[in-house]
Amino acid sequence: MKKRIIILGSTGSIGTQTLDVISQYPDRFAVVGLSTLGQGEIFLRQIETFSPAVVAVSDEETAAAVRARADLHRTALLTGPDAMTQMIAEWECDLVVAATSGSAGLCPTLEAIRRGRNIALANKETLVKAGQLVMGLARERGVHILPIDSEHNAIFQCMAGQRIEDVRRILITCSGGPFLNHTREQMERATVADALAHPRWRMGPKITIDSATLMNKGLEVIEGHHLFGLDIDRIDVIIHPESIVHSMVEFVDGSVLAQMGPTDMRLPILNCLAWPERLASTMEPLDLCEVGRLTFREPDEERFPALGYAREAARRGGTLPAVLNAANEVAVRSFLDERISFGEIARVIRRVMDSHQTIANPTLEQIEQSDQEARRRAEEYALAR
Ligand code: MG
């Protein structure tokens, strides 16, 4: 029996790599549904190659470009802002890969959990914004949330067969990004091209900038807190420029388990698609002798204030993590559009956080309202620069 898969966000970096993995195991996986937020050309090729039963396209322009090809392949076409949620509600599948970037994936992911579908989660916002709601619902419905993010996938693998009460702390590794050895002044003046030149991972522009500010690690700390049900104070970040150890778990007896592998997102993707099995892969194996040495050091929270802001948001909880995330999205976009400097990203986030009145145990509506308000404020502060 093939595992039936729906991919939310199939044209992004994780989406295309997921399809790349799937195409190598035609007898194991079947693509039921795909969705895009507006990448017509790539999407047309995906429909051609995988002939999914259904596709969801939120914007009308892309939908018009896709319609004829979908008809040709007898693929149902859903359009409009709720297309992804409708696809999840109306089509059967065994696994939903949540790989949209930004907030669009939250509603369809919640719908998938309500329907008892396991989730391979690549979208950080889902847990950062609504971690309590998402994990609460997943527990209630007996749904497994399988993390694609390489660090959480590593922790997930180290945790297999272990008890959470035996964990002393988790150590999330961090490559350090392009500015690991830059001074504060150099970082302040960094250009968009500097910040996009990530030394280890090839990723989309938003997450690459987040890797330069270390906000990506901050968001991962919040993600880990929800995924594994651990206090923020038991989640540490450790700089590991070689990106070979993808994260570690330290147990109460002092044992530390680490997961290692080549720096290739297709590995955690394959791990999630195949779970609870493992499938043989043709990926280049890890050659530790060639790597030679693995180094570790502590992160510098003064040069990378985003890390501390994320911890603070997670500790205070409620709507604050959603606010942090929203302010960060606007600040990163403003930097990419060359409206603010690199150093301003963290300052915009700080100001938005300081102006927010945190609501404890928020509803989804309150989370969305706080998110919108934070975006407005961040735009305002970015414009004032
Ligand atoms: Mg990661």
Domain presence at residue 269: no
**Residue 108 reports pLDDT greater than 90:** yes
Quote the ligand 1 centre to 67 CA distance (angstroms): 35
The mean pLDDT value for 271-298 works out to: 96
- Same structural domain, 129 and 160: no
Residue 166: predicted pLDDT: 98
Quote the ligand 1 centre to 40 CA distance (angstroms): 27
Q: What is the mean pLDDT of the chain?
A: 95
- Same structural domain, 228 and 142: no
Quote the ligand 1 centre to 131 CA distance (angstroms): 17
Q: Predicted confidence band at 338 (pLDDT cuts at 50, 70, 90)?
A: very high
Residue 205: predicted pLDDT: 86
Quote the ligand 1 centre to 63 CA distance (angstroms): 32
Domain presence at residue 307: no
Domain boundary residue among 147, 168, 188?
147
pLDDT in tens, 145-184: 999 999 999 999 999 999 999 999 999 999 999 999 999 9
Quote the ligand 1 centre to 69 CA distance (angstroms): 35
pLDDT in tens, 234-255: 999 999 999 999 999 999 999 9
Quote the ligand 1 centre to 265 CA distance (angstroms): 9
Q: Which pair of structure tokens corresponds to residue 279?
A: 């499938």
The mean pLDDT value for 346-364 works out to: 96
Residue 345: predicted pLDDT: 97
**Residue 385 reports pLDDT greater than 80:** no
- Same structural domain, 199 and 141: no
Residue 40: predicted pLDDT: 81
Quote the ligand 1 centre to 83 CA distance (angstroms): 28
- Same structural domain, 116 and 182: no
The mean pLDDT value for 275-293 works out to: 96
Quote the ligand 1 centre to 150 CA distance (angstroms): 5
Domain presence at residue 143: yes
Quote the ligand 1 centre to 220 CA distance (angstroms): 7
Q: How far is CA 297 from CA 37, 49, 224, 240, 276, in A?
A: 39, 45, 20, 7, 33
Residue 376: predicted pLDDT: 98
Query: Would you call the peptide bond into 241 cis, given omega within 30 degrees of 0 as the criterion?
Result: no
Quote the ligand 1 centre to 122 CA distance (angstroms): 9
- Same structural domain, 212 and 259: yes
- Same structural domain, 17 and 142: yes
Enclosing domain of residue 25: 3-147
Domain boundary residue among 108, 123, 147?
147
Beta partners for residue 172, in sequence order: 237
Quote the ligand 1 centre to 373 CA distance (angstroms): 27
Spatial neighbors of 262 by CB under 8 A, at least 6 apart, are 283, 284, 285, 286
Instruction: State phi, psi for 2 to the nearest 5 degrees.
Output: -80, 145
**Residue 110 reports pLDDT greater than 80:** yes
Quote the ligand 1 centre to 78 CA distance (angstroms): 31
**Residue 372 reports pLDDT greater than 90:** yes
Task: Give dist(CA 14, CA 273) in Å, integer.
Answer: 13
Residue 103: predicted pLDDT: 79
Residues above pLDDT 90, as percent of the chain = 89
Quote the ligand 1 centre to 217 CA distance (angstroms): 7
The mean pLDDT value for 268-276 works out to: 98
The mean pLDDT value for 137-145 works out to: 98
Quote the ligand 1 centre to 378 CA distance (angstroms): 25
Residue 203: predicted pLDDT: 75
- Same structural domain, 24 and 73: yes
Beta partners for residue 78, in sequence order: 56
Q: Please report, for the domain that includes residue 321, its CATH number.
A: 1.10.1740.10
Q: Predicted confidence band at 39 (pLDDT cuts at 50, 70, 90)?
A: confident
Instruction: State phi, psi for 201 to the nearest 5 degrees.
Output: -110, 140
- Same structural domain, 31 and 99: yes
Quote the ligand 1 centre to 209 CA distance (angstroms): 13
Q: Predicted confidence band at 341 (pLDDT cuts at 50, 70, 90)?
A: very high
The mean pLDDT value for 102-118 works out to: 93
Q: Please report, for the domain that includes residue 15, its CATH number.
A: 3.40.50.720
For the whole prediction, is pTM greater than 0.75?
A: yes
Domain boundary residue among 147, 179, 208?
147
Task: Give dist(CA 323, CA 321) in Å, integer.
Answer: 5
Instruction: State phi, psi for 34 to the nearest 5 degrees.
Output: -135, 155
- Same structural domain, 336 and 379: yes
Residue 206: predicted pLDDT: 87
Q: What is the DSSP string of 202-260?
A: ---HHHHHHHHHTHHHHHHHHHHHHHHT--GGGEEEEE-TT--EEEEEEETTS-EEEEE
Domain presence at residue 27: yes
Domain presence at residue 128: yes
Domain presence at residue 236: yes
- Same structural domain, 358 and 337: yes
- Same structural domain, 115 and 242: no
Domain presence at residue 239: yes
Quote the ligand 1 centre to 124 CA distance (angstroms): 9
The mean pLDDT value for 338-348 works out to: 96
Quote the ligand 1 centre to 70 CA distance (angstroms): 34
Length of the chain: 385
Quote the ligand 1 centre to 84 CA distance (angstroms): 25
Spatial neighbors of 142 by CB under 8 A, at least 6 apart, are 116
Quote the ligand 1 centre to 170 CA distance (angstroms): 14
pLDDT in tens, 319-336: 999 999 999 999 999 999
Quote the ligand 1 centre to 315 CA distance (angstroms): 21
**Residue 368 reports pLDDT greater than 90:** yes
Domain presence at residue 309: no
Quote the ligand 1 centre to 151 CA distance (angstroms): 5
- Same structural domain, 168 and 291: yes
Quote the ligand 1 centre to 198 CA distance (angstroms): 13
* Total domains in the fold of the chain: 3
Quote the ligand 1 centre to 147 CA distance (angstroms): 10
Q: What is the DSSP string of 11-28?
A: TSHHHHHHHHHHHT-TTT
